[in-house]
Amino acid sequence: MGWTHRLRSLFRRQAHARDLEEELNFHLAMREQRNREHGLSPQEARRQARLRFGNPTLLRERITELDLILLPQTVWQDLRFGARILLRQWGLTLTAIFALALGIGVSTAAFSAYKAFFARPLDARHPQTMTNLAVILHTGVTTPVFSYPDYVEYRDRLHAFSAIIATSLPQFLPVRTPGGTLVQHDEGAGSLIGRLFPLAGSTNNERALSMFVSENFFSVLGVQAVRGQVFRQQDTRQLATSPAVLISGNYWQRKFDSDPSIVGTRVVLNGASFTIMGVTPRNFVGTFVAAPDFWIPLSLEPLVHPEQNWLTDREKFCCHLRARLAPGVSLHQAQSEMSLLADRLRALHQAQSDWAQPLHAVVWPGSPFPIPPSQNRNIVIALSLVALAVALVLIVACANVASLQLARAHARHNELSMRLSLGASRLRLMRQLLTESALLAVIAGALAFLFSWAFLQWAVTAAANAFPDEYGTFVFHVSPDLSVFTFVLGISLAAGILFGFAPALDSSRSAIAASLRANNFVSLGRHRLRSLLIASQVALSAVLLIAGSLLIHSAIRALNMDTGYDDAHVVDLNLQFPENAGYSADRKTALVHQLTARLAALSGVADVTSARAPDDPDFRDAAVSINSDAPSRTNTKAFLFYTYIEPNYFRTLGIPLLFGHPFADTAEDSAILSESAAKALWPGENPIGKTLRLSTERQFHGPAEPLPDGPSWRVIGVARDTRGVLLDGSDSAQVYLPMPAAAAAQYPILVHTRISPATLIVQIGPLLASVDPALMMRAITLEDMLRSSAPFIASTVSAAIASVTGLLGLLLVTIGIYGTVSYVVVQRTHEVGIRMALGARKANVIALILRDSSRPVLFGLGIGLILAAGAAWLLRHVLYGIDLIDPLSFGGVSVLLIAVALLAAFLPSRRAARVDPMVALRCE
Amino acid sequence: MKQKKTDTLQGTLDLLVLTTLEQGPLHGWGITLHIERVSDAILRVEEGSLYPALHRMEQEGWITASWGMSENNRRARYYQLTRLGRKQLHAERENWARITGAVAQILAFGVSGT
């Protein structure tokens, strides 16, 4: 309303003053003239006019004053005034700034971390022109993994891209370096992540994280070697005759102490010998998020893995593709051109391949993530939950500051009603209050920015240190950038307006009310709003705390849960045969038999068997039919998991058989079901003697491994369920099949030990060397393997996040209740004085205040419990083995919140009880 | 008590000014003159109140001001009612009618009571 006018007058202040001057002069002159017409002498006419007009300076001042109240120039005045007010109540101000900084800081940290991790570009020159390539198969699955022959077609035939690069996933390769010898070490021992997620277990060889990259990789990304040379597309022929690799600056520094003579020395990776031709810049991660140790030309892959046939097999999907857009080409154009070529390539694929079916290409901005995180449902859910938790903390912080502001507004009651009666409009008062809130928010925002910046720096260092060196050097850039800063400022301003608005509305309304009434009693509306703010803080904190407590409880359960097998005493031995030495299948089987026999003879070893452990992340599933026909699209009873076992498997792992008997020998067509599998196939029936058929068509399986397709299997037993690695627990439904004798060498060796697994693992190293010194192994207890599985990681990480946000919420609620009750006590000094004069005792007064302040707490808690039940339902997939309405979490948090609220109210209420009735009454 | 008086006075002045302007654009001097004349010099508008009030009403958006030529060819600032101002005028008129009606009732009660 008229704001353009005000804005204009801000810039036309001089002109405005002149206008006013002229207008007043006109008036004076007219009055003078009229006086003369009435017969007064010119002097008298002038004197009378002046007299009547009053003091013109005073008049001008009054009008300027009006301007000062109304014009936007007063924003600066508002700010100065606001700052004075904030300074005067510095205790409350600090509390509010702290609460808000906490809320904003958490949001900023979360946003920055998201940006640093999920929204990071590729580590390339001009990353904005880089793109990721993938295809959507006819099954609807988006796959970013191409075969090498297809890559060559795309690379050479597409014009929409100036270049296309291919990379393999990073992989661990046994390494022998000039200074290095075979060492036995615990991967990542001593680092946090290494302890939490022992991916590697113990090994008897040193391994280096290596990445196969196409020869044009470095020139397309625009990266030079800091020492020596990078390989280029035109070097491909020369590389074939003299194999060479690049070493990362990080590995060079760590392993070779930045030895300047590294270029030209030899390194042996998985048995293949290479010359180190250059060193890449430190922290250069390329298309990945961590710096690997070695970069190997993709064309030399057959040297490292002689049996893999990556370069020639069109059905071996090995490579992620990224491309640089040609100048002036849009993502859409590139996508259409690539789709056309993908369609032509269908003819070259085998008929049963998914790639021979209709498919189309997708091209999107370059990212280290092969598939956009937004397409991964689990990541999206996890991120949404974190975002929700962070948003809740911010809302609690805002509600907190709002309730503090509200309490403060009351203290300023007199000032506000005075200003209102002096002609300031409600809008004007609201603006003053909003200015103060915004000022508060901006200060808090600046503080939060520093806080989150420092926190992220610390977190990045901690995270980098937490990952063992063997996983490569994780590189995150979380230095504050402009967009993060804008984001913080946006949040803090929005928060300022959010929490400034309610008190502004309320206090300007009650200021009017108060100016009409003479006394100063607390108005009902105000009281309700404040209670509402307290209640909402309590409710949201309850949600955060209960979610955190549920997740912690479930993580503890997950750790201690009965897995259904003896995970603490079984060691998983994963053997690796040197790929270049040409071990035949027979020789492998013979070696495994020999090793098994030697292991069984060790003292302390109870049993040895060959099988995949229940918590092996490498699992298989199949379609199952229970009539005599093979499973097909129309004839499938269920999708279950299958695994091959030797007769002593159940004894070795300590899994009890509920019905029937174990396999007698390996030749029979019998199967044993887990309880869940039996329930899925024949609910409520005895499955013993029934038959089933399996089909692995369209399911993943490795090359040359035994498949259960074909004849029917007769059920001879039911075993107790075991816990697998899938979040939904569906892999408890297992079909156990007898292991073909020749296949045992493909599976890990499981050793049940009566002594400590660590002691056993130390003995295994020399034993293995005496069987065959070239064998490599990795040993890990099933317990440790389980800890690195998805459900465990998910519940641990979410428990950590939820408990941190929950504790922040609790802290904020405590501050909020304490601050508000303190102010209520000040407000009610008069009332308390009257009560005490009328004979109320201290205990009565304290009880009164506690009763009044606990009402919104209880109300908020009730709402919070309902919301928390909803949150538990959202979290049901990561909650392990506890009720959704976990009495411990819900009850414990309720008691905690009530106790904290009572304490926060009790301290200021004692002050009320000390009120001297005489002083209170005299205040009037 | 003092505030209340200010409120009423201010409201009355607003009503008087807005009513005057309802007949057409006028400068500050003209408004003073009109009110004095029509009220037979019973109501006298103080310049010290009039100009701040005009300024305030302009800021509220009830009236707009523009420069024009007065009857005797001097540059004068003319005020004109806006749509918003017309609305405000109606509201204030109704309010005034209510208050005077109430006062009249009380007076009438006083008369009949004696």
Q: How many residues does chain A have?
A: 924
**Minimum mean pLDDT among A653-667, A766-780, A782-796: which range?**
A782-796
Does position A577 have pLDDT exceeding 90, yes or no? no
Q: Across chain A, what does the average pLDDT equal?
A: 79
Handedness of CA A407, A413, A415, A417 (dihedral sign): positive
Q: Are A299 and A236 in contact (CB under 8 A)?
A: yes
Q: A504: pLDDT confidence band, cut at 50, 70 and 90? A: low
What lies within 8 Å, CB to CB, of A164 at 6+ separation is A133, A151, A154, A155, A158, A321, A322, A323, A324
Mean pLDDT of A357-361: 89
User: Which pLDDT score, from 0 to 100, does residue A213 have?
Assistant: 94
Rg (CA), chain B: 16
User: Which pLDDT score, from 0 to 100, does residue A623 have?
Assistant: 87
Query: How many CA atoms, within 13 angstroms, populate the side-chain half-sphere of residue A781?
Result: 21
* Complex confidence, ipTM: 0.83
Nearest to A368 by CA among A125, A111, A119: A119
Rounded to a whole number of angstroms, the distance between the first and last alpha carbons of chain B is 29
- Closest alpha carbon within chain A to B47: A53
Q: Are A630 and A696 in contact (CB under 8 A)?
A: no
d(CA B52, CA A62): 7
Record: contact B47-A22, CB cut-off 8 A:
no
Q: Map tokens 């010099």 to a residue.
A: B41
Q: A479: pLDDT confidence band, cut at 50, 70 and 90? A: low
For A1-13, the pLDDT digits (tens) are 344 555 555 555 6
Q: Are A584 and A752 in contact (CB under 8 A)?
A: no
Instruction: With beta carbons under 8 A apart, name residues in chain B contacting A16.
Output: none
User: Which pLDDT score, from 0 to 100, does residue A523 have?
Assistant: 43
A246 beta partners: A278, A295
Q: Map tokens 């174990």 to a residue.
A: A662
DSSP state of B29: H
Mean pLDDT of A798-824: 76
Does position A135 have pLDDT exceeding 60, yes or no? yes
Distance from CA of B87 to the nearest CA of A (A): 14
**Dihedral, CA atoms, A904, A910, A911, A916, nearest 10 degrees?**
160
For A774-807, give the secondary structure using H, E and C: CCEEEEEEHHHHHHCCHHHHHHHHHHHHHHHHHH
**Minimum mean pLDDT among A106-120, A353-367, A564-578: which range?**
A106-120
d(CA A479, CA A283): 15
The angle at the Cα of A795, spanning A791 to A796, to the nearest 5 degrees, equals: 115
Does position B96 have pLDDT exceeding 80, yes or no? yes
Task: Name residues 398-437 of chain A within 8 A of B (Cβ).
Answer: 421, 423
Instruction: With beta carbons under 8 A apart, name residues in chain B contacting A54.
Output: 46-48
Query: How many CA atoms, within 13 angstroms, populate the side-chain half-sphere of residue A466?
Result: 11
For A331-346, the pLDDT digits (tens) are 999 999 999 999 999 9
Interface test with A, best of B10, B47, B70, B82 (most A CBs within 10 A): B47
Interface test with A, best of B59, B66, B87 (most A CBs within 10 A): B59
SS3 call for A2: coil
For A375-428, the pLDDT digits (tens) are 767 677 777 777 888 878 877 777 777 777 766 666 666 666 666 666 566 666
d(CA A158, CA A340): 10
Instruction: Give the DSSP letter string of A665-719.
Output: STTS-EEEEEHHHHHHHSTTS--TT-EEEEE-TTS---TT----BSS-EEEEEEE
Record: contact A63-B84, CB cut-off 8 A:
no
User: Which pLDDT score, from 0 to 100, does residue A173 have?
Assistant: 84
Q: A704: pLDDT confidence band, cut at 50, 70 and 90? A: confident
Is B22 near chain A, with CB under 8 Å? no
User: Which pLDDT score, from 0 to 100, does residue A35 have?
Assistant: 86
The residue type found at A723 is: R
Q: Are A80 and A786 in contact (CB under 8 A)?
A: no
- Closest alpha carbon within chain A to B5: A421
Q: Are A697 and A668 in contact (CB under 8 A)?
A: no
What lies within 8 Å, CB to CB, of A737 at 6+ separation is A642, A643, A644, A645, A671, A708, A713
Does position A845 have pLDDT exceeding 90, yes or no? no
- Share above pLDDT 90 across residues of chain A, in percent, rounded to a whole number: 16
Phi, then psi, of A15 in degrees rounded to 5: -55, -40
For A520-532, the pLDDT digits (tens) are 444 444 567 778 8
Record: contact A66-B56, CB cut-off 8 A:
yes
Q: Which helix (H) or strand (E) holds A134?
A: strand A130-136
Is B88 near chain A, with CB under 8 Å? no
Instruction: With beta carbons under 8 A apart, name residues in chain B contacting A63.
Output: 51-52, 55
B79 beta partners: B26, B65
Instruction: With beta carbons under 8 A apart, name residues in chain B contacting A423.
Output: 10, 56
Does position A798 have pLDDT exceeding 80, yes or no? no
Is B92 near chain A, with CB under 8 Å? no
Nearest to A641 by CA among A665, A612, A668: A612
Record: contact B59-A66, CB cut-off 8 A:
yes
Handedness of CA A236, A240, A242, A243 (dihedral sign): positive
Q: A189: pLDDT confidence band, cut at 50, 70 and 90? A: very low
For A196-229, give the secondary structure using H, E and C: HCCCCCEECCCEEEEEEECCCHHHHHCCCCCEEC
Does position A231 have pLDDT exceeding 80, yes or no? yes
- Share above pLDDT 70 across residues of chain A, in percent, rounded to a whole number: 79
Is B9 near chain A, with CB under 8 Å? no
Nearest to A681 by CA among A729, A730, A733, A758: A733
The residue type found at A809 is: G
DSSP state of A617: S
User: Which pLDDT score, from 0 to 100, does residue A183 have?
Assistant: 38
CB nearest to B3's CB, from A1, A62, A515: A515
Q: Which of A200-214, A216-230, A788-802 has the highest mean pLDDT?
A: A216-230
Say what the pTM is.
Answer: 0.63
Q: Are A384 and A374 in contact (CB under 8 A)?
A: no
Interface test with B, best of A31, A52, A55, A66 (most B CBs within 10 A): A66
d(CA A414, CA A409): 10
Does position B7 have pLDDT exceeding 60, yes or no? no
For A621-662, the pLDDT digits (tens) are 888 888 878 888 788 888 889 999 988 999 999 999 888 888
For A146-169, the pLDDT digits (tens) are 999 999 999 999 999 999 999 998
Rounded to a whole number of angstroms, the distance between the first and last alpha carbons of chain A is 40
**Minimum mean pLDDT among A232-236, A261-265, A876-880: which range?**
A876-880
Q: B114: pLDDT confidence band, cut at 50, 70 and 90? A: very low
Is A126 near chain B, with CB under 8 Å? no
Mean pLDDT of B14-18: 89
Q: Are A718 and A675 in contact (CB under 8 A)?
A: yes
**Minimum mean pLDDT among A16-20, A305-309, A596-600, A753-757: which range?**
A16-20
User: Which pLDDT score, from 0 to 100, does residue A518 have?
Assistant: 39
Is B24 near chain A, with CB under 8 Å? no
Is B61 near chain A, with CB under 8 Å? yes
Does position A190 have pLDDT exceeding 60, yes or no? no
For A668-695, the pLDDT digits (tens) are 788 999 999 999 889 888 888 888 988 8
User: Which pLDDT score, from 0 to 100, does residue A584 have?
Assistant: 83
Does position A724 have pLDDT exceeding 60, yes or no? yes
Does position A215 have pLDDT exceeding 90, yes or no? yes
Q: Are A185 and A165 in contact (CB under 8 A)?
A: no
Is A53 near chain B, with CB under 8 Å? yes
Does position A434 have pLDDT exceeding 80, yes or no? no
User: Which pLDDT score, from 0 to 100, does residue A888 have?
Assistant: 83
d(CA A822, CA A840): 20
- Closest alpha carbon within chain B to A423: B7
d(CA A208, CA A170): 10
Does position A728 have pLDDT exceeding 70, yes or no? no
Question: Which one has a higher pLDDT value, A710 or A899?
Answer: A899
Instruction: With beta carbons under 8 A apart, name residues in chain B contacting A52.
Output: 47
User: Which pLDDT score, from 0 to 100, does residue A582 have?
Assistant: 73
